[in-house]
């Protein structure tokens, strides 16, 4: 009975897998936020290095991982794949449940898989500082960590509600040398405008992105780094699924269903994209994205062109969206409070290759506590969405009397999310109703693209 399925250092993938090479239809163009015309690489150079812009539009199937990035990955990769024997026993399920544990990175989540290459390519391009947004703080920590390896400065705009909910994440970012600013802030024009409109706003990822993009675009030595959504971020995360495939081969198993929580889509992409090839080639496998029912981008959003941020500074992409100025309720899975989703995840969902489900936060916390009391690891609130869906799949397998193999991404630990667990265990956590009217109002403001 094997519990930990491990690979050696030399088995870290040498290439990232680019799902864009295997799509059956071409990706939609990226549009300029002012003119609505397709953007060229030169339109993006004020905030990104050319190497990342090239990855963003690449249709090459395999993209080499620089040696320096591989060396840093070695500090925690290959990450372990676990068989959840104790959770299976508690559920009395015939299902095999596996989880890929990304919480072993120094920052505690999958996010450094992209932060490290982003810092590397920016350093190579002569950039001195990176500005970014963070929700729960996992991405801000990951970029601060990555920048500390490469000697870059970091400015993090942290969504205000999370700034209050996760104070130690701020300390961790500062420990790795970052400056952390609650967003919206007075630091940027976009932030000042948002505060004028609503001085008590919880903030949102869309607002924090506006501030970070404005900061980067207005300083020549500064670039912007995004922790999710973009094609190059999803690309970097594919080390997760590539390793998982090799690990499952070692125990001669193969998943019936692969599950990831979905905020912007990067950890979901990281685990599922390497399986998309199998599915396109006819393999019977389900790929499942799980999101909060209070921010139901894939399940209730429109598949349309929209801005990635509230202040309409980012390029426009075709994606599932709830509208760029939708402010999701202040759920504790701060990393899932995003109005949009990755264009690649959206396209695969639209084409029926990736399914989606939406869950309320208390059901997810219930799953997280069951997981912590059986497997021991305290999950990040975001990851609890994948856990809950995996539990539901395992129960279904039991009820149907069928052995099934379930693989999910445990995208991060929840050691800095204790105030959320305190609220849940104290019975103070509420579920939010599906904010139908707010979403309809935001969707009415989508850019009119012909």
Ligand X SMILES: Cc1ncc(COP(=O)(O)O)c(C=O)c1O
Give residues in contact with ligand X (CB under 6 A): 109, 135-136, 138-139, 228, 261-268, 335-336, 380, 382-383, 411-412
Shortest approach of ligand X to residue 42 CB, angstroms? 27
Task: Report the distance separating Cα 237 and Cα 151, nearest Å.
Answer: 23
Shortest approach of ligand X to residue 117 CB, angstroms? 15
- Find tokens 């062109």 and name the residue: 305
Shortest approach of ligand X to residue 70 CB, angstroms? 22
Nearer to ligand X, 69 or 289 (CB): 289
Task: Report the distance separating Cα 340 and Cα 357, nearest Å.
Answer: 15
Nearer to ligand X, 195 or 233 (CB): 233
Nearer to ligand X, 195 or 205 (CB): 205
Angle 189-197/205-217 helices, nearest 10 degrees? 150
Question: Torsion angle, CA of 431/436/441/446, rounded to 10 degrees?
Answer: 100
Nearer to ligand X, 247 or 266 (CB): 266
Shortest approach of ligand X to residue 439 CB, angstroms? 19
Nearer to ligand X, 33 or 135 (CB): 135
- Nearest alpha-carbon partner for 214 in 134, 310, 148, 124: 310
The CA–CA distances, whole Å, from 80 to 3, 24, 306 equal: 10, 32, 37
Instruction: Return the SS3 of 314.
Output: coil
The CA–CA distances, whole Å, from 229 to 74, 140, 142, 268, 284 equal: 25, 15, 16, 11, 27
Task: Report the distance separating Cα 140 and Cα 412, nearest Å.
Answer: 14
Closest chain position to ligand X (CB) = 335
Nearer to ligand X, 305 or 408 (CB): 408
Shortest approach of ligand X to residue 109 CB, angstroms? 4
Which residues, 6 or more positions from 117, have their beta carbon under 8 angstroms from its beta carbon? 65, 66, 69, 236
Task: Report the distance separating Cα 25 and Cα 20, nearest Å.
Answer: 9
Nearer to ligand X, 43 or 417 (CB): 417
Nearer to ligand X, 270 or 315 (CB): 270
Contact 228, 133 (CB under 8 A): no
Q: What angle do CA 316, 144, 160 make, to 5 degrees?
A: 65
Shortest approach of ligand X to residue 111 CB, angstroms? 6
Shortest approach of ligand X to residue 136 CB, angstroms? 5
Residue 281: exposed, middle, or buried by beta-carbon count in 10 A (0-12, 13-18, 19+)?
A: exposed
Shortest approach of ligand X to residue 197 CB, angstroms? 25
Contact 379, 414 (CB under 8 A): yes
The CA–CA distances, whole Å, from 368 to 104, 166, 218, 447 equal: 17, 18, 42, 38
Both tokens of residue 367? 């799953």
Nearer to ligand X, 195 or 319 (CB): 319
The CA–CA distances, whole Å, from 255 to 94, 284, 353 equal: 14, 9, 15
Which residues, 6 or more positions from 309, have their beta carbon under 8 angstroms from its beta carbon? 206, 207, 209, 210, 213, 324
Shortest approach of ligand X to residue 234 CB, angstroms? 8
Shortest approach of ligand X to residue 448 CB, angstroms? 28
Nearer to ligand X, 184 or 265 (CB): 265
Contact 324, 339 (CB under 8 A): yes
Nearer to ligand X, 73 or 139 (CB): 139
Shortest approach of ligand X to residue 332 CB, angstroms? 11
């Amino acid at each position: 009975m094997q519990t930990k399925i491990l690979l050696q250092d030399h088995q870290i993938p040498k290439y990232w897998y680019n799902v864009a090479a295997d799509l059956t239809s071409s990706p939609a163009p990226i549009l300029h936020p002012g003119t609505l015309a397709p953007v060229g690489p030169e339109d993006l150079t004020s905030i990104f290095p050319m190497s990342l812009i090239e990855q963003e539009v690449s249709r090459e199937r395999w993209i080499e991982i620089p040696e320096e990035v591989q060396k840093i990955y070695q500090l925690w990769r290959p990450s372990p794949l676990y068989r959840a024997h104790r959770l299976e026993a508690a559920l009395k399920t015939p299902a095999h449940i596996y989880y890929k544990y990304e919480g072993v990175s120094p920052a505690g989540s999958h996010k450094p898989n992209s932060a490290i290459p982003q810092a590397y390519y920016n350093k190579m391009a002569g950039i001195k500082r990176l500005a970014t947004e963070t929700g729960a703080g996992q991405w801000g920590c990951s970029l601060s960590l990555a920048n500390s390896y490469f000697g870059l400065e970091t400015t993090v705009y942290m969504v205000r509600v999370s700034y209050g909910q996760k104070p130690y994440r701020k300390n961790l970012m500062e420990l790795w040398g970052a400056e952390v600013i609650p967003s919206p802030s007075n630091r940027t024009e976009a932030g000042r405008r948002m505060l004028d409109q609503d001085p008590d706003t919880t903030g949102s990822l869309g607002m924090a992105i506006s501030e970070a993009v404005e900061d980067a675009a207005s300083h020549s030595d500064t670039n912007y780094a995004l922790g999710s959504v973009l094609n190059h971020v999803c690309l970097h995360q594919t080390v997760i699924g590539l390793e998982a495939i090799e690990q499952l081969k070692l125990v001669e198993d193969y998943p019936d269903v692969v599950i990831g929580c979905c905020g912007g889509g990067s950890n979901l992409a990281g685990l599922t994209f390497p399986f998309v090839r199998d599915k396109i080639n006819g393999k019977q496998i389900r790929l499942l994205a799980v999101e909060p029912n209070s921010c139901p981008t894939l399940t209730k959003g429109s598949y349309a062109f929209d801005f990635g941020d509230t202040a309409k500074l980012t390029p426009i992409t075709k994606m599932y969206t709830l509208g760029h100025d939708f402010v999701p309720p202040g759920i504790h899975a701060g990393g899932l409070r995003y109005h949009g989703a990755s264009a690649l995840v959206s396209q695969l969902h639209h084409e029926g290759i990736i399914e989606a489900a939406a869950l309320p936060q208390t059901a997810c916390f219930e799953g997280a506590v069951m997981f912590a009391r059986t497997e021991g690891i305290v999950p990040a609130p975001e990851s609890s969405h994948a856990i809950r869906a995996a539990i539901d799949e395992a129960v279904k397998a039991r009820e149907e009397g069928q052995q099934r193999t379930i693989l999910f991404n445990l995208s991060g630990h929840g050691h800095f999310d204790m105030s959320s667990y305190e609220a849940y265990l104290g019975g103070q956590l509420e579920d939010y109703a599906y904010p139908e009217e707010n979403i309809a109002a935001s969707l009415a403001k989508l850019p009119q693209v012909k």
